[in-house]
Each structure stands twice: as structure tokens, then as C-alpha cells.
Amino acid sequence: MTDLKSLRGMVDLLPSEIKRWQNVESLARQHFDRAGLKEIRTPILELTELFARGIGEGTDVVGKEMYTFSDRGGRSCTLRPEGTASVARSVIENGLLNNGPQRLWYGGPMFRYERPQAGRQRQFHQLGVEFVGLESVLSEAELISIAWDFLKLVGLKGVKLELNSLGTNEDRSCFRKQLKVWLEKKYELLDKDSKQRINVNPLRILDSKNPNTQKLLEDAPSLNEFLSDKSRERFFYLQELLHQLSIPFEVNHKLVRGLDYYSHTAFEITSDQLGSQATVCGGGRYDGLISDLGGGNTPSIGWAIGMERLILLLGDSFTNKDVPCVYLIHRGSNTDGVALDVARKLRFAGIPIELDYSGSTFSKQFKRADRIGAQWALIIGEDELSKEIVMLKKLHSSSSDSLTTQFSFNLNEIDNLITFLKN
RNA sequence: GCGGGCGUCGCCAAGUGGUUAAGGCAGCGGCUUGUGGCGCCGCUAUUCGGGGGUUCGAAUCCCCUCGCUCGCCCCA
């Protein structure tokens, strides 16, 4: 075995699993098209500063998970750890908002330098939607429904939508102060991680998975209590709309997402089948992001789905194997050119066909045709060549009589063969 | 960054100190020099992730290292 291997956490998508990716991707494209979203593709590599400023210096993503390096010109570059900051940058840079609010989707690889485990890789793929320049609760409800409906469309079951409102920046900073005061009183009872977090990002302690900490937090002040009337109204209206859409959800006041830019609505769609990486889809409102990056004041909201996690959850449900229609068997001097030419003609006519290269015995070539599951074998040997015909044989047919399963066609009238195969 | 588990052929594996490292799948060849699915026969690891050590003798024991995997943290 070679000692050249893919880097840790970078995985190959092999031919045997690519079909389900293509299926999910094509359903996504269809679904987003129908919702009137436009695709956007941004570079995988950006200036480090974009993420540092956009995502937040205090976040884990920026603090310890970025793939950062200097390019030959000495610029600090980073492989994108998520899509939102790049999309925001592109929207600003290209002045897209001059054409009104942007309803966008994107997909592609993201990079985070973490220890891989189930449902987590260093290079992974996200599918995301961003509504840039839209403030209404109605647009939020639609954005969430687009995610929910997509997951239903691909056949995902057993997922849960959790919802929270983080309020405005003012609501949150007020809450942050109160929470900090409360936490400091209980400092000695906190777990190690939470103790460290108390100054950096106390809100995230709410998210702690430590059971003792969670127990302690039952009496903690709730973000909910600090929401302004306006924030509270928004949140209730969103819930009302989701009810009308019959999209089930749970309000989780402890749902605090890890990236700094969220405000008001935050949500997650989770599955209990994913091991500890339960989130399939996460998103929220990021009203401050665009202005933080130098654009105008632009309310926005978005989400991202983890493709690997989604595909993991879908399991084998998407693996309808595509079998080649025709396998072209040929043997004998001078059959190479004719065989290749016939193959091309069938392909032009839209018939999937594979050519045997081996030159081994007909018996072997038939075995191969059978193994790959071809429906038809097309045979060109020296006899056929001299008579200018090809033989067609139906595979997977009853073994009783093979004579009835053979057909012949003049090479010059390959159209007959094409017509026959198409029926 | 910190824990647990694991590394024997392309894949799945048996083997837990004694001289030739089972078996299955896949691959290749043959039985069958031009007709598949079944069957039968043969071939395919001087080597057990790598490096040291112990021993007359190691895939099997010890040390180091690398990799994979699961979990913590965090996220999609």
C-alpha cells in the first residue's frame, strides 16, 4: 500500500456513493428553483480577516478551527469554514443589493480544522440559503419552511425543529450582564469548560452538555425574560406562521448558536440518529453581519445543511443503481474501430453503452456484461464484420432458448438498432 | 488539544510465541479457441500500519511512532 494518503478528515466520495449525492443535489436545485432562489458561487479561499470579522474573534471556529496560511504574496488566507461570510462579502462587493433583496442559495466544501468523528470531517459540504436584505417575519417563516420542506422532500424522517429568539443586540447584552452576575455567584458549581467561558461568551454556557451544569441552569435567568416587546412579538408571529404551515417545532430558550452574528431568530433541525453530531441544519438571523463587513445596514437570515450528515441519515434510500443499457462485446482483428464507432453512434442517440477492451474470449466478455448488470449485449466478431451486421442479445432472460433473443442489424442501418433499443 | 477502541491481500476476516499466515468476496486464467447468469479447477500477502526491543523462534509479548475510529469541546 502506498504511504500517500488523503489528509486527515479529508474524505473521498467514491463512485459507489456518488449517486446519492447527485440525487440530493438535483432535488435541492429543483426545490430552490421553485422557490425562486438564485444560486451563488463564491471562492473557497478568502482573506482571513473576512471570517475573523464576520464570524467573530471569540468563536471556536475562528479561534481554533480555521485552515489559515500565507500565500506567496504574504496575505493571510483561510479556507472558508462556512458560507455566510463569503456570501455577505460577495453581496457587498458586487453591489447586489442595488437590485433589491437577494434570496440566494449555495453549496460546496467547507473546511474546519477539528478532530474528525462521526458526522464531522475537516472538509465537509454544506448547502445553504441566505435571504439578504429581508427583515420580515414572513420571509423568516418561508426561509425555515424551505429548509423543512427540503428535508421532507429528500425523505428525511425523525427530525426535530428547535427555535429560539436571541432578541436584539440590546436585549442580548442586557441578558448577558444579568446572566454573568448570576453565573459568577455559582462559579464553583460550574464545570471546567463553563468556567472558562464565563467571560468570553457566557451565553454559550446555556448550551452546555454537562448534566450538572444543565441542572444548575434550571434556575438561571432566561433569555426569554429579557426580550423586548417588539422582539417577543416577532417571535410569536413566527410561531404563529409555522403553526399555519403545520411545521412542528419546539421552542428552546437555551438554543444559542455558536457564531457571533446571530440575532432574533435562531433555529436548528436535529436528529437523534446522528450520534453526538445531531444538527443537520442550523441557521438564524444575522442583521449585523453585512454592516460589520462594511456594507449598509442589511437585515438578513440564512441556514446551512450539512450534506454528509444528511446523506448519513438518508442511508441507502437513495441508491437506485443505474445499470448500463448495452455492453458491447467484440473480438477479432479489426473489430476495435467498428466497435468504438458503434458505441459512439449509440451514445449520440442517448443510449448508455460500455465497451469491452479486453479482447478476451466471448465467454469472458459475456460474464463481464452480466456482472455489471447490462440489459443487452451487442456482439461484433469477425463473422459479423464480414457480413456487416451486429448481434444483439437480451441478457437476464430465461435460459430456455437463446435463439429468440438474438437480432441482427446491418451496420449501415444502425438506426434500426437505435430505434429497437429505445423501445 | 484531551480520553476510549482498533490496524493481517482491493474488501470482509481466522490466527493470541513454534517451522508453508486459514477462509470468503472481488480480480485473473482454465474446464467451454464465437455466446452470460450455475458449477468445478488453478493463480493472486516471503508478510501481518511503520520502527526498535525481548526470544533459539513474534502477526502474536514490550516500547515508540503513524494512521483510522468513537467520544469530549464545538459545529453543519
How many Å apart are CA A418 and CA A414, to the nearest integer? 6
Distance of A368 CA from B13 C1′ (whole Å): 27
- In chain A, the percentage of residues whose pLDDT exceeds 90 is 55
Distance of A254 CA from B25 C1′ (whole Å): 50
- Residue nearest B69, CA–C1′ metric: A117
pLDDT for residue A201: 75
Could you say which nucleotides of strand B lie within 7 A of any protein CB atom?
A: 1-3, 10, 26-37, 67-76
- Any idea which nucleotide's C1' is nearest the CA of A126? B76
pLDDT for residue A401: 46
Distance of A271 CA from B22 C1′ (whole Å): 43
3-state helix, strand, coil in chain A (%, to 5): 45, 20, 35
Domains A15-167+227-318 and A326-422 share a fold: no
A105-151 pLDDT, tens digit per residue, is 999 999 999 999 989 999 999 999 999 999 999 999 999 999 999 99
A217-252 pLDDT, tens digit per residue, is 888 888 888 999 999 999 999 999 999 999 999 999
- Any idea which nucleotide's C1' is nearest the CA of A277? B75
pLDDT greater than 80 at residue A318 = no
Q: What is the CATH number of domain A326-422?
A: 3.40.50.800
Give SS3 for A112: coil
- Any idea which nucleotide's C1' is nearest the CA of A385? B34
> pLDDT tier at A298 (50, 70, 90 boundaries)?
very high
Average pLDDT of chain A, as a whole number: 88
CA A393 to chain centroid? 42
pLDDT greater than 90 at residue A274 = no
- Any idea which nucleotide's C1' is nearest the CA of A387? B34
pLDDT for residue A123: 95
> Domains of chain A: which residue ranges?
15-167+227-318, 326-422
pLDDT for residue A156: 92
Give SS3 for A51: helix
- CATH architecture of the domain with range A15-167+227-318: 2-Layer Sandwich (3.30)
- Any idea which nucleotide's C1' is nearest the CA of A391? B35
Higher pLDDT, A422 or A299: A299
Distance of A272 CA from B51 C1′ (whole Å): 43
A333-345 pLDDT, tens digit per residue, is 889 999 999 999 9
Closest-CA residue to A162 (of A144, A138, A184, A185): A144
- Residue nearest B32, CA–C1′ metric: A363
Question: So what's the ipTM on this one?
Answer: 0.85
pLDDT for residue A39: 98
How many Å apart are CA A207 and CA A179, to the nearest integer? 13
Q: For A247, how many CA atoms within 13 A lie in the half-sphere containing its CB?
A: 25
> pLDDT tier at A186 (50, 70, 90 boundaries)?
confident
pLDDT for residue A169: 84
Distance of A273 CA from B7 C1′ (whole Å): 27
Q: Is A9 left (phi over 0), alpha (psi -120 to 50) or beta?
A: left
A347-389 pLDDT, tens digit per residue, is 999 999 999 988 888 999 999 888 888 888 999 999 888 888 8
pLDDT greater than 80 at residue A316 = no
pLDDT for residue A2: 56
User: Of the given ranges (A158-162, A220-224, A299-303), which has the lowest mean pLDDT?
Assistant: A220-224
> pLDDT tier at A153 (50, 70, 90 boundaries)?
very high
The partner residues of A394 in beta bridges, in order of sequence, read A376
A42-95 pLDDT, tens digit per residue, is 999 999 999 999 998 878 898 889 999 999 999 999 999 999 999 999 999 999
Distance of A30 CA from B42 C1′ (whole Å): 54
pLDDT for residue A321: 59
Distance of A62 CA from B34 C1′ (whole Å): 67
